[in-house]
Chains A and B, each alone.
Chain A
Amino acid sequence: MSSGMWSEKYRPNTLDQIVNQRDIIDRLKNFVQEKNIPHLLLVGPAGVGKTTSILALARDLYGPSYKNFILELNASDERGINVIRDKVKNFARTAAIASPVSFKILIMDEADHLTSDAQHALRRTMEIYTKTARFCLIGNYSENIIDPIQSRCSIFRYSSLDEKDIKERLSYITDQEKLDIVDEGLEALYQASGGDLRKATNLLQAAAANGAVIDDVSVYSLLGSVRPDKIRDMIQLALDGKFLDSREALRELLIDQGLAPEDIIRITYREIMRHSTLTEQMKVKLSDTLGEIDYRLTQGSRPEIQLSTLLGHLSLVGEEKR
């Protein structure tokens, strides 16, 4: 076995190595040939190669020392306006030295997490420093990016990967790593990944860790063991009327694991909408509650007290259901 995460080891290094998203890759290659790129906005689902293609573009453009000319930021970690004012400006204002082209590339991953204040600050920055820097924004949804930024970028929409693409890539890796895998295992990995190649690769590596043959059973038991879903537990505890236990679960998420309150809201929303035993009326009611909490959090309220009102609502809903 080799060291590190396979999702990195098997990340394509050059644009040529990227097998899917043909149209987009062709245009990106044109940019490299012309040695000039516009501001870019790459949108699409997770794990389809957005970050990979921009990293490959940078490598093709600048050569092996490409890391000196790019700055990678992740807006989900640094979503405030300060990051635009400090890090982005500092990077963008200086020209690229000893580089084949006159500009550097700033990669803002998960840009749809940027607050709207930060996006407005970014829009000016993009204009002022066009000479020395190009901005490449990456995100899942273009709706969350303000129009003025969209109009300054050429937008590339990545489509989700086919079953064939993912299975081929996984088979390639299993060949390289000399793994025992059966077709059911491959199918299970594809189903679990939901079209996300990075996730599929990571899952494959985890499934291969114990050295046994990879089949559907081993993949599903892996999924079972790595997903002790705390948020789902919290929701269920509240629905069962065990309010105090659900509050402890909330604290574990907020404090022990340091999950951002916004992320808890996001995942909770998804779980509630998917929940099989809640009626539609209940879901609408809970959506109202979540919306209010989500807004209050943006206003700087105490996350725990606001989120625990949700648990209170859930335990009342649970009571009504019983």
Chain B
Amino acid sequence: MSNTQPWTHLYRPRRRADFVGNEQAVEELEKWVRSWRKKPPKKLAVFLYGPPGIGKTSVAQVLAKEHNFELVEINASDTRNKGNIEETLGKSVKQNVTLFGQKRMILVDEMDGLSGQQDRGGVSAVSKIIDETTSPMILVANTIEENMEARFRSLLRKVKSIEFKPVDSASMIKRLEYIANDQGVDVHPDVLMDLAMKSRGDLRSATMDLETICRGRKQVTPDDLTVIDQRDRLDYTPNILNKIFTSRSLLEARKTINQSMISYDDLFEWIYENIPIVLDDPYERLHALMILAKADIYQRRAKSSNYRLLKYMFDLMTGGIAFSRKNSKGEGYKEQLNAAILGVGFTPSMISTIDVPEGIMVKPNSWLGKEKWAKLNTSLRGIGASWIYGKNVWLLPYYREPQAKWRFIRTYHSRRRMKSVTKQLAAKTHTSSARVRNEILPLLSHMIKNNETMYDEVSTWMLAPPDKKLDYLRYMSIKKRPRDFANLENYAKHKQREMTKMIDEKKKEKESDHANIERWLDDQKKNAVWKKR
């Protein structure tokens, strides 16, 4: 063995027996690989996910070797757009046997990095290949991204998912001890313990730290531990926000920028979203908002002149926010919750709440009935709560996800419709879109509300296909009606029904008043006809 190789490489598992932790997951994976010997199993691909450094890629490589597959691998170092993936994997998919009669296995590593402009169409290309493959496919991803599920939803339906968990500390200490012994270094058990704890189940980083601390030594005592600082662990965003809003030191708050698993741009949006919820004192809230607005200015300056200016942005958006908080209790979410409950006509006594680490669970005390439930659901979702299936409660997180993004997505179609209508109207009336939006659209929608023929007239005037271009107006004028009608036709029918009902009632009234006379008159007429004949 050459000593120049890093230990992480040197002690990478090479046999099935080398694996540390995750026995069940490895077992399950091996069973699936073995099943390929006879015929392809139901699920043609497996999806391995879990935190970094616990051997997901290694297990795929080792199992391929032990079960005699040739491994075709693509990872984030390759460009993985649609064309590229099809080119690299397409061949292997169709011919599952190499020239020498060896079967192939496909490994798509670092799936979570499959994104962005460069890898356009990557996920769908992989998804397509799963449908066609005649070789076993292993997909590997880190679960650091919170929105991973959304991105891979279509893909996840087709695959068998196997979760890999952080390596437990006992197994890890055993492994680290083995490595230390193998290298002939005497490492104090407390040090091993410490390394294992610090790594939080990431065996690769623990091995790396062990190497750093052992370099050039024959003996390592707890005093040598200061050499390595705790590596910046990526942390979930709510935890990061908690650090920012509760921190009492600039250094601690500032560190969150590196610990955050989302970009600082996204973190900025999270902070902005939660300032008014955490800081309920109006003065502190304003202070924090102004600090954040200043941070935004620094970012613009950094972008236009020099990126070294970014550090000021980071200081302001972390430490600046932390120190804005003095008296605020940070219980804005409770006020929100009460307002949301009261707003739809419930009293707090009808609802029970339980505090849990990530937020507050909300549960109605008794079954509300479908309609009331839906009302409460809409209201709670409006403040960032989500319904948890299975547990049948709402969870309102202490820190809310940025809502502007959802609003953008939610209103995409209506905005597009509105834009197209305003643009046409602006050209037609020789004014600006802004004036159309502020002056003309409200009037038009009023006109359509009061005179339904106006809709067709306006769309003819604008030379628009009536079913399409003016949808927005139609939508606007109908939305304000007491009931939400799907479209004008339904509304017209509804009106007609109302009218006939009214007329019928009027008739009945009349009948009761003049019943006898009319009946008599009718009879007379009939009799007259009869007589004539």
Contact = CB atoms under 8 A, between A and B. Distances in A.
Interface of A: 1-5, 7-8, 51, 55, 72, 74-77, 109-110, 198-199, 202-203, 205-206, 209-211, 222, 225-227, 241, 243-244, 247, 251, 255-260, 263, 296, 299-302, 304-306, 308-309, 312-313, 315-316, 319
B296 interface: yes
Contact of A199 (B292, B428, B439, B445): B439
A312 B292 CA distance: 12
B440 to A, nearest CB: 6
Contacts of A3: 457-458, 460-461
A51 B429 CA distance: 10
A302 B450 CA distance: 40
B451 A109 contact: no
Contacts of B325: none
Contacts of A315: 282, 285-286
A1 B457 contact: yes
B62 interface: no
Contact of A55 (B293, B300, B430): B430
B364 interface: no
Contacts of B407: 251, 255-256
Nearest to B408: A255
Interface SS of B by simple majority: helix
B228 interface: no
Interface string B422-445: 000011111111110101101111
Nearest to A52: B430
Contacts of B277: 244
Given A301-B300, A319-B282, A211 B451 contact: yes
A202 B332 CA distance: 45
Contacts of B297: 296, 299, 301
B359 interface: no
B431 to A, nearest CB: 7
Contact of A243 (B285, B292, B439, B449): B285
Contact of A257 (B431, B437, B445): B437
> What are the 8 tightest A-B residue pairs by CB atom distance, in nearest-first order?
A4-B461, A312-B286, A76-B432, A3-B457, A226-B442, A210-B450, A209-B450, A209-B447
Interface in B405-421: 407-408, 411, 414-415, 418-419
A305 B274 CA distance: 12
B1 interface: no
A174 B238 CA distance: 63
Nearest to A75: B432
Nearest to B335: A244
B247 interface: no
A259 B437 contact: yes
Contact of B442 (A227, A308, A309): A227
Nearest to A299: B300
B283 interface: yes
B474 to A, nearest CB: 15
Contact of B434 (A202, A256, A260): A260
B403 interface: yes
B453 interface: yes
A256 B414 contact: yes
Contact of B285 (A74, A209, A312): A312
B407 to A, nearest CB: 5
A89 to B, nearest CB: 21
A72 B286 contact: no
19 contacts: A4-B457, A8-B428, A76-B434, A77-B426, A77-B433, A77-B434, A202-B443, A209-B446, A210-B450, A222-B446, A226-B442, A247-B276, A256-B411, A296-B293, A296-B297, A301-B297, A301-B300, A305-B289, A305-B296
Nearest to B383: A244
Contacts of A203: 443
B263 to A, nearest CB: 14
Interface of A, helix, strand, loop or mixed by DSSP: helix
Given A76-B432, A305-B292, A309-B293, A226 B443 contact: yes
B150 interface: no
A145 B429 CA distance: 24
Contact of A312 (B282, B404, B428): B282
B419 A74 contact: no
Given A309-B290, A312-B289, A109 B457 contact: no
Given A7-B429, A296-B293, A316-B282, A251 B404 contact: yes
Contacts of B462: 4
Interface residues of B, number: 54
A77 B428 CA distance: 14
B454 A209 contact: yes
B272 interface: yes
A77 B432 contact: yes
B267 to A, nearest CB: 13
Contact of B430 (A72, A300, A306): A72
B336 interface: yes
Nearest to A292: B293
Nearest to A9: B461
Interface in B24-74: none
A74 B432 contact: yes
A22 B449 CA distance: 39
Given A209-B451, A210-B451, A301 B433 contact: no
Contacts of B445: 226
Nearest to B290: A309
Nearest to A246: B276
Contact of B426 (A74, A260, A296): A74
A305 B286 CA distance: 11
A17 B443 CA distance: 26
B293 A305 contact: yes
B296 A301 contact: yes
Contacts of B460: 3
A256 B415 contact: yes
A87 to B, nearest CB: 14
B429 A305 contact: no
Contacts of A256: 407, 411, 414-415
Interface string B358-387: 000000000000000000000000000000
Contacts of B432: 74-77, 109-110
Interface in B450-494: 450-451, 453-454, 457-458, 460-462
B430 A251 contact: no
A16 B15 CA distance: 96
Given A109-B430, A202-B439, A308 B289 contact: yes
A313 B442 CA distance: 30
Contacts of B437: 257-259
A5 B443 CA distance: 10
Given A77-B426, A301-B300, A306-B293, A205 B447 contact: yes
A210 B497 CA distance: 21
Contacts of A243: 276, 282, 285
Nearest to B460: A3
Nearest to A301: B296
B404 A304 contact: yes
Nearest to A74: B432
A316 B430 CA distance: 42
B415 A244 contact: no
